[in-house]
Copies of this chain bind each other. A is one copy, B any other.
Amino acid sequence: MADAGSWLPTLKTDTPEAGYQLALKLSRMAVKLTQPSAEVRDELRTQYERDSGELIEIAHVVAVNFQTVAAANDYWRSARA
């Protein structure tokens, strides 16, 4: 049963773009749960946002999560184009 108070009530999204945003959220949440301090994460951000290798790796994580979200939505095949 989905929980409206959850940060992840469902994997369903109305559009592919919303699904991509959810993939970003899924990617960030693992970092947040491992490093709960917003202050430390802000410090780290100043580093990785200027490090091409880390930015590429972030894109990799998002790609894996987007696979999951896209499959969960049957690739939005039934959405009207």
Contact = CB atoms under 8 A, between A and B. Distances in A.
Interface string A56-81: 11111111111110111001110111
Copies in the complex: 6
Chain A binding surface, main DSSP class: helix
A64 B53 contact: no
A16 B27 contact: no
A79 B15 contact: no
Contact of A33 (B24, B60, B76): B24
A27 B64 contact: no
18 contacts: A2-B79, A2-B80, A2-B81, A10-B76, A10-B81, A12-B81, A27-B63, A31-B56, A34-B48, A34-B58, A45-B52, A48-B52, A48-B56, A54-B56, A61-B63, A63-B64, A63-B68, A66-B68
